[in-house]
Every structure is written in C-alpha cells, then in structure tokens.
Amino acid sequence: MPNISPGATIAALLLSRHAHAAPSPPSENGVGYLHIPVTAADQLPGTDINKRATGGSIEQILTNQQLFYSAKVGLGSPPQQVTVLVDTGSSELWVNPDCSTATSDILSKLCKTYGHYDPNKSTTPARGPLGNKTIRYGDPSDASTHTSVSIDYYSDSLSFGSAGITNQTFGVVTKSVGQSQGILGLAPDLQYGFTGKPYNLVLSSMAQQGLINSAVFSLDLRHMESKTGSIIYGGIDRNKFVGTLERLPLVPGSQGEFRLSAQMSSFGVTRTKSQTIKVQGNSSVVMFDSGTSFSRLRREVALPIIEALGGRQVTNRVAVDCSILDTQGSVDFGFGNTIIRVPFKDFIVAVSPTECYAGLVITNDNQILGDTILRAGYFVFDWENRAVHVAQAANCGDNDIITVGKGPSAVPKVTGNCQESDLLYSVGSSTITAAAPIKTVGSGTVPSFPTNTNARPNDAGQTKSSKSSGNRVGSAPWLIISLVATTSLLMAL
C-alpha cells in the first residue's frame, strides 16, 4: 500500500465506514425543461461511502459520497459515461487518470469504477491530440497535497443526460500522479480568465451554443447528512436559500491570477459566547473551491477559530473534542451584509467516536473555502459579469428554478422562498450568552481585475496550475461527494 498523507488516511477510514449508493430519481418532463436521472458512482462491495431544469438551466444533482462532489458526463458518440469531480477551483475538464498512482488501495479501486474515455470509440469523430499540458494541483505550502496530470487535448461532443454541446476541448491523461478521478473545472482559466482563450471552457461552450442563456451556475452542496446537492447551469433555485442573494465582485488570487474568489468581511464562532472578527487586506480574499475538502485559511484567520473550538495541532490537522458535535453553534463567515453560518456538525469531521478534526488547515498561500464551509451556503457564480451571489442555504420544498438572463443583470436580485425555520440545521444562536469585543485582522490591499476584459493579470497557470487545491481526492481528501442523483436540463428559449 502506498504512503498516504494524514488527510488521505482520514479519507480511507471514512470510505471504509460509510457507503451506500443513492437511488436514481425518475425522469421528469415539463414545459421547457427535461429532468433526467443520473446514476451515483458505483460503490465497491464491502466498502461504505458515505449534483433539473426549467427554461434555460441545467441542474446536476450531486450525491454526497463522503470524498468529493462528482457528476457523470458523456464524452463522444455514443456517450462514454465518466464520473468527474465538480471543481470550482480549477478550469480544465480532463479524464482517464492512472488509477495505479492513487494514494491508497481503496481510491485506486474506486478509480477503476469511474469510467474511461477512448477517442477511438467515438463516431463523432474525436479530433486530437491537439496539444498537451501538465497541470499541478496542491497548496504550494503543503507538499502532502501535491498531485499532477499530463494531458493531450481532444475535441469531441460532451453531454449531460440528453442535452449536450459539440466540439468541446478537454484533456485525456497520458500520465498522472496522485489522482483517482477526472475533473470538471468550472473556474476561469488562470491566465486568460473568462475570454475563451486558449479555447472555450465547458461553461462558455454551454452559453455560446445556446444550452443556457449565459455563463452562470449555482452551487448547492447541502450539509453532510444529505445524500444529494445540486449544481444548476443557467438557473437559480429559490427553494434552496434564505434571504436575498448578495452580489459580490470576483477578485484575483494572491498572484493576480483569475479565480472564483471574493472578499470576506468577517469571520467568527457562535457558541455560548460569540466572537466576530473583521478581516481586511489580503487576508480577506477567499477562493470558493468545491474540489477541496478541508478549508485552508491563513494563520491570522485560522487561529481564532481553532482557539474558540479548543483545537490542537496534530501533524497538519487540527484535532478537536468530539463532544462539540453534540453542541449547538457555528463557525461564521461574513460577506458584506450576509453571514454564512456553518454548524459544528458540518465543520467538524468525525473519523471515529473519539477522533475528530476541525475542517480547516493553515496555509501560507491562497485561502480556500472548501466543502466544510461551502455546504452551508448557496452560491451563484456569474462569469460574464465577474460576480458571485451568496446566501445562507436552506431547503423549503421541491425545486423552484428560475433561469438567468443575459447582460449586466443576467442574475436578478432574487429573494429565496425559505424562512429561518427551513434552514438545513440549527446553529443555536439563542444559546449566546455574551459577545466578545470585535477585533480586526489582516493588512495590505485587495487586488482587482483589470478593466480590460482581454487583459491578463500575469503569466501564471499556462503550463502549471498554481491552484491551491488543498485536499484534492487522491492527495489528501476526507470528504467525497459523488454525485448525482439526477440531472435536469432546461433548454434556453
């Protein structure tokens, strides 16, 4: 068995303890949309592994598999089904990792169940190879997270259920280290951003080919006990959040590169005593990354949270008392006037009844809000207007999906149908007995994108991704969400 990092050890333990595949929902047809079931990733015998559509949007239902959020896509004609990790922290779509280099025997075996694309079996026909590239994933300050893939580019059809796009460029792996599944990147190109260079990324192709109205998608991961969440291309589900979506401008990463990042205004912990800390400068910039399990925060942000949770450093993890899972409270992150409250039961990872870890690690690189935080929020990413809209996640019934439009107001000012009583969990705000004085941390300035949409902030990322992906599965994951119980496809009118 190969060496595995502490994070991968946690992943393997969770994998071997929790697993049942989610049943596929029935197909559903309606005016202007097509709802298609998508099969959850196959499970290994004897193991436990604990992302629809109306008028112009595509929603893929995600199934919580405890290690990553994944979706099934079809490549070529006829479609060759491949399960890929849904990743808002990187931009490339690639498939066919070398399963023999996965970081554990379990991940290697799972890798072989995720499907394989053979361009020679496509009758489209596939075009390629069109070029090649090496992509490196991981936090530069944490060697245990480093993985890589070398890919050849091909062009072929790409489908989501019965809807799809043509002539999509994607990578086919020629060599990989530490990866156990393909990746569907939904972030802009690190170097060229949202411009469609050097080729159209998947979200841009969906919009340009009329599958959705504009390059917008919403993300709803749900809490740990849920079996499914969703990603909606071109739409917003008003039954999955509380309050009004707050719009924030996207900002560059720490090296000026293009990211799905925004400015965080505050953070804190709500327990019997609440603590709110304002954050400014470079320490306020966070990247939204569904491809990372443990969130990665700089020391000045992480330490107050660790202290409030009574955490202690164990190797590169933060151990906490498991009794905190039985208490009400939350770890809180502020964005403008919106506070995303993450309940302890979603922020704390229980490996066993007596071994628990906080869902964060300390980094010196880009700060990342991974699955441990994203589960508590509802996020709408607008590529064309370089904005993200945020709200507290909830669930108040069947889908109520509206489609986005085009232009500067593509994402309207939307208020969710849910009330506080519809929150996915209680954070116990009524238990607060005192509030600590508000402090401020961080320094420096917050970067911004150039006003010229064709300008490149720097030369990063063309042959090497500096993505601080943190615990990418096969590197140091603990939480997989595999996906997909159903896909709803709504055709643009």
> Distance between CA 86 and CA 61 in Å, rounded?
11
Interacting residues of 377 by C-beta distance below 8 A, sequence separation 6+: 340, 390, 391, 392, 393
- Give the dihedral sign, CA 318/253/243/400: negative
Distances (CA, A) of 172 to 2, 39, 49, 183, 187: 25, 23, 27, 11, 19
Active site residue 156: no
**β partners of residue 223:** none
Residue 426: phi and psi, rounded to 5, are -100, 130
In this structure, the strands spanning 387-393 and 216-220 are: unpaired
Q: Looking at the DSSP assignment, which residues form a beta bridge with residue 137?
A: 147
Q: Where are the beta strands (DSSP E) in 189-301?
A: 216-220, 228-233, 235-237, 241-249, 261-263, 266-270, 273-279, 285-288, 295-297
Q: For residue 64, what is the DSSP state?
A: -
d(CA 314, CA 356): 11
Contact (CB, 8 A) for 383 and 194: yes
Whats the size of the chain, residue-wise?
493
Using DSSP bridges, classify how beta strands 295-297 and 360-362 pair: parallel, antiparallel or unpaired: parallel
Enter the DSSP assignment of 415: B
Active site residue 48: no
Catalytic-labelled residue, pool 142, 289, 332, 365: 289
Q: Can you tell me the distance from the alpha carbon of 240 to that of 223, in angstroms, rounded to the nearest whole number?
A: 12
Residue 271 neighbours by CB distance under 10 Å: 21
Q: DSSP letters of 164-190?
A: EEEEEEEEEEEEEES--SEEEE-SPBT
Do the beta carbons of residue 53 and residue 30 sit within 8 Å? no
Identify whether the C-beta of residue 206 lies closer than 8 Å to the C-beta of residue 60: no
The CB-side HSE value for 214 (13 A sphere, CA atoms) comes to 20
Collapsing DSSP to helix, strand or coil, 123 comes out as: coil
Beta bridge partners of 72: 83
**Catalytic positions, please?**
87, 289
